[in-house]
Structure 1
Amino acid sequence: MAVEIGEELYFGDEGNEELYEVLYTCELNEKHYLVAGLSADLENPDKDPNIISFSYTEDEEGTLFFDELSDEEWQQVEAKFNAYIEEVGQEG
């Protein structure tokens, strides 16, 4: 099960998790990445959403494991995400 755009996931410290919606996924250098926005922020058009990004792996049982990105990884993922947003904007 790969993470898909539109999927909702909880992130945060145990007991303080918040619901995020996956906005973008990609694969770079044989690693999987996701970009997600805080769902409550995405529902409010007047607010810039809190955006987070992680690399992730999945075990044979489908459990997802998330890792923080290095600055270099974030720059690469951000560039791909921005290109995706521009492409989607041109289609609409």
Structure 2
Amino acid sequence: MAVEIGEELMFGEEGSEQMYEVVYTCEINEKNYLMAALSEELDDEDKEPEIIAFSYTEDEEGTLFFDEIENDEEWKQVEAKFNSYIEELEKEA
């Protein structure tokens, strides 16, 4: 089960989790990444949503494990792919 754009996931500390919607996924160097925004912010046309990003892995049972992106070079690669994706979306609009 790969993470799909539009999928909703819970992130946050236990007791203060919030619902996020996946807005982008990609693979770089055989590693999977996702970018997500708070679902409620995506519904608000007057507010630009804050984007969070994680790398993720999946075990044999389909359980997802998320890791923060801590390497600057890794972050730059993910951000560049996301920005290219956004530019393509804007061209189509």
- Hey, what's the Cα distance between the residues in 1 that align with 2:22 and 2:52? 9
Q: Which residue of 2 aligns with 1:55?
A: 55
- How far did residue 39 of structure 1 move? 0.8
What is the aligned-residue identity percentage? Answer: 72
- What is the count of residue pairs matched by the alignment? 92
Amino acid at match of 1:27: E
Q: Which residue of 2 aligns with 1:87?
A: 88
- CA RMSD between the two structures: 0.7
**TM-score, normalized by length of structure 1?**
0.96
Q: Which runs of 5+ in 1 are unaligned?
A: none
- How far did residue 41 of structure 1 move? 0.8
Alpha-carbon displacement from aligned partner over 1:42-88 (angstroms, at most 9, x marks no partner): 11111121210000000000000000102221111110001001101
Mean CA deviation greater in 53-62 or 36-45? 36-45
Q: Which runs of 5+ in 2 are unaligned?
A: none
- Hey, what's the Cα distance between the residues in 1 that align with 2:46 and 2:4? 26
SS of the residue aligned with 1:25?
A: strand
Mean CA deviation greater in 70-79 or 2-11? 70-79
Q: Which residue of 2 aligns with 1:74?
A: 75
- Hey, what's the Cα distance between the residues in 2 that align with 1:11 and 1:38? 9
- How far did residue 14 of structure 1 move? 0.8
Q: Which runs of 4+ in 1 moved over 6 A?
A: none
- How far did residue 12 of structure 1 move? 0.4
